[in-house]
Amino acid sequence: MLNPNVPIPLYRQLADQIADGIRNGTYRPGSCIPSEPKLVAEHGLGRPTVRQAIDLLVRRGLLTRKRGSGTYVCDPQQEVDLFSLDGTSASFAKTGVSVDTRILSPVTLKRVTGQGDNPFSDQHAYTFYRLTRVAGAPVLVENIYLHATLFAGIDQMDLGGKSLSAIAEKTYYLRPTGGKQSFSVSYPDDHIAGHLGVSAKTPLLMVKRWLHFPQTANGVYAILWCRTDQFVFSQTIGGTGYA
């Protein structure tokens, strides 16, 4: 039920309600959702508010309009782990082993300086460190940078143990459309080495990741340090997934 007394706009509430219906199977792929007049009558909203909610879900790729016919639920999009905010951690979870993530530093909005590869260099961005443990062993540390406008207010959220991709999609209506990764072998600083339980002389796989969104290129930048003594990290050629 929509609540006009909360700070979330009514069109967002309606969009969330329809999206939940798509996720739980109330509206199945290929089916037509209720018409705009029916949604107006059912929720007591104005036509522009209903249209704004549907427009939002069309932009998210959940709905598609067919002229003269109605608005239909899209077929599920194929997930591409390469462009997921949680791709590496999620792939561990698929193996069936226990996975936990921990935020190592508070999410902070700050000006980025002295990083040539960082697309936020000389700009403000939200940044924090995150540690992933697999079966109790530390295997991955990420230094994540988020676009200050796209992710406004994320420093007020508790991100511990939560999916960044789920937060990005549900709260900010963001899904990556592309990106790139670079790979190298590097030696960690004492901070990274300490969290991964290795010495500063231990070579680690370092991955730099840029993610693009419809609203802007390079909406997310991350540096990952990966221990490879217990797990093999791979990427499928063609961008169909990675572990």
Q: How many CA atoms lie within 13 A of 172 on its CB side?
A: 22
The architecture in CATH of the region 81-226 reads: 3-Layer(aba) Sandwich (3.40)
User: Is the pLDDT score of 79 beyond 50?
Assistant: no
Predicted local confidence at residue 136, as pLDDT: 83
Token readout for 181 is 């990764």
DSSP per residue, 160-208? TT--HHHHHHHHH-----EEEEEEEEE---HHHHHHHT--TTS-EEEEE
Predicted local confidence at residue 82, as pLDDT: 37
Predicted local confidence at residue 88, as pLDDT: 60
Query: Tens digit of pLDDT for each residue in 12-57?
Result: 899 989 988 988 889 999 999 999 999 999 999 999 999 999 998 8
| Calpha distance 201→60 (Å, rounded) | 45
Q: What is the DSSP letter of 31?
A: P
User: Is the pLDDT score of 93 beyond 80?
Assistant: no
Domains 10-73 and 81-226 fall in the same CATH topology: no
| Calpha distance 6→191 (Å, rounded) | 42
| Contact present, 169 and 160 (Cβ < 8 Å) | no
Give domain limits for the chain. 10-73, 81-226
User: Is the pLDDT score of 208 beyond 90?
Assistant: yes
Name the percent of the chain lying above pLDDT 90: 50
In the beta sheet, which residues pair with residue 132? 101, 140
Predicted local confidence at residue 97, as pLDDT: 63
- How deeply is 117 buried, as exposed, middle or buried, from its count of CB atoms within 10 A (0-12, 13-18, 19+)? exposed
Q: What is the DSSP letter of 36?
A: H
Helix (H), strand (E), coil (C) string for 110-142: EEECCCCCCCCECCEEEEEEEEEEECCEEEEEE
Q: Is the pTM of this model over 0.85?
A: no
Least confident of 34-43, 164-173, 188-197, 233-242: 233-242
User: Is the pLDDT score of 142 beyond 80?
Assistant: yes
Q: What is the mean pLDDT of the chain?
A: 84
Which fold, 10-73?
Answer: Arc Repressor Mutant, subunit A (1.10.10)
Query: Tens digit of pLDDT for each residue in 180-189?
Result: 889 899 999 9
User: Is the pLDDT score of 236 beyond 80?
Assistant: no
Q: Specify the DSSP element, H or E, that contains 71.
A: strand 70-73
* Section 112-132 average pLDDT: 93
| Calpha distance 135→158 (Å, rounded) | 23
